[in-house]
């Protein structure tokens, strides 16, 4: 468990972004019309952007010494 609630929220955001990316990739495989492609393209792009921002924020917290290194690495 993370020490700070803000770190916990960052970890949850990283997990959510990863889930968005997985859903978008699966959605591409099952799309039946161009509208689905647009939807999953936006979801994929958003997932990667959120993931990038959250990882940068995590790195900032690590540099400050806030981040607990015992976090489950599969989630993060």
Segments making up each domain of the chain, as ranges: 5-64
In terms of pTM, does the model score above 0.95? no
DSSP state of 65: T
Give the C-alpha separation, 72 to 33, whole Å. Answer: 38
Q: How many residues does the chain have?
A: 76
pLDDT at residue 76 tops 60: no
Specify the pLDDT at position 5.
85
User: Considering the chain, what percentage of its residues have pLDDT values greater than 70?
Assistant: 86
61 CA to centre of own chain: 16
* Side-chain half-sphere exposure of 30, counting CA atoms within 13 A: 6
Specify the pLDDT at position 74.
47
Segment 41-50 mean pLDDT: 98
């Amino acid at each position: 468990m993370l020490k700070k609630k803000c770190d916990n929220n960052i970890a949850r955001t990283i997990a959510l972004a990863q889930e968005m990316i997985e859903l978008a990739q699966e959605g591409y495989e099952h799309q039946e019309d161009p509208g689905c492609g647009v939807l999953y393209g936006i979801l994929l792009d958003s997932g990667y952007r959120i993931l990038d921002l959250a990882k940068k924020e995590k790195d900032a917290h690590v540099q400050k010494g806030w981040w607990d290194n015992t976090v489950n690495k599969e989630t993060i």
